[in-house]
Structure 1
Amino acid sequence: MSIPEHIDQDKLAEVALAILALSARDDKFGTRAWKGMDWALTDLLYEKGWIGDPKGKQKSVVFTEEGAALAELYLQKHFSK
């Protein structure tokens, strides 16, 4: 899948990062989340510097420090009541 041109990629990236936060867990490598998202979305998050390289056989992605902080912020911003 590619991201359609009429979609705001910044908003999409924020929401995708927030959704990843729902499955995020800390381990010895940092904060990880299962990468059950479309490749175009994980590539977009990687390009923004919010997650490590999503390509590979691992079933999870590692958040960068910035990405971990923003994930929680965006989760509250887009989904809090």
Structure 2
Amino acid sequence: MKDQIDELTLLLLYLTSFTDDYGLGEGQRSWKGYPFESLNELNENKYIVGSKRSKSVHLTEDGIKQAQELMKKYNIENEK
């Protein structure tokens, strides 16, 4: 069950993400109102990066690709 929670957390981060210019270019960012255990796991898998003090995280290229694969897995249409 934990794996599914992590997958769905990544998918929600992606679906609620927005484009943000963080000074070095643009990146996908999302608010991190999700379980810390899942966020820590996604960070360890290098799908997201961000400071523990920040209220949002950046989605990495690998995180975006994985989220797009999860959209296919869960039959969710991409509206981004």
Tell me how many residue pairs correspond in the alignment. Answer: 73
Structure 2 residues without counterparts, runs of 5 or longer: none
Give CA deviations for 1:35-54 in whole Å, capped at 9, x if unaligned: 01011110010011100035
TM-score (norm 1): 0.74
Amino acid corresponding to residue 56 of structure 2 in structure 1: S
Aligned partner of 1:32 in structure 2 is: 29
Of Structure 1 and Structure 2, which has the larger fraction of its residues in strand? 2
SS at match of 1:26: strand
Partner Cα separation in structure 2 for residue 33 and residue 77 of structure 1: 21
User: CA contact under 8 A between 2:50 and 2:56: conserved in structure 1?
Assistant: no
Structure 1 residues without counterparts, runs of 5 or longer: 1-6
Amino acid corresponding to residue 71 of structure 2 in structure 1: L
Partner Cα separation in structure 1 for residue 8 and residue 50 of structure 2: 19
TM-score (norm 2): 0.75
Q: Structure 1 residues 54, 10: CA separation in 2 closer, same or farther (over 3 Å shift)? A: farther
Aligned partner of 1:3 in structure 2 is: none
Runs (4 or more) in structure 1 with deviation over 4 Å come to none
User: CA contact under 8 A between 1:43 and 1:54: conserved in structure 2?
Assistant: no
Partner Cα separation in structure 2 for residue 38 and residue 79 of structure 1: 24
